[in-house]
Amino acid sequence: MNLVTRLSLASLAYVLLTMPAHAYIDPVTGSILFQAIAGGFAAALVAIKSFREKVFGFFRKKPEPQDDTSEVESEG
The answer as to whether 21 is a domain residue is no
Instruction: Print the domain residue range for 42.
Output: 29-62
pLDDT band of residue 8 (cuts 50, 70, 90) is: very high
Does some domain include residue 71?
Answer: no
Give the amino acid at 39. G
**22's torsion region: left (phi>0), alpha (psi -120 to 50) or beta?**
left
Number of domains within the chain: 1
pTM of the entire predicted model: 0.46
In a domain, 50, yes or no: yes
| Residue 54 maps to a domain | yes
Residue 12: CA atoms inside 13 Å, Cβ hemisphere, count? 6
Res. 5: pLDDT tops 80: yes
| 48-74 average pLDDT score | 78
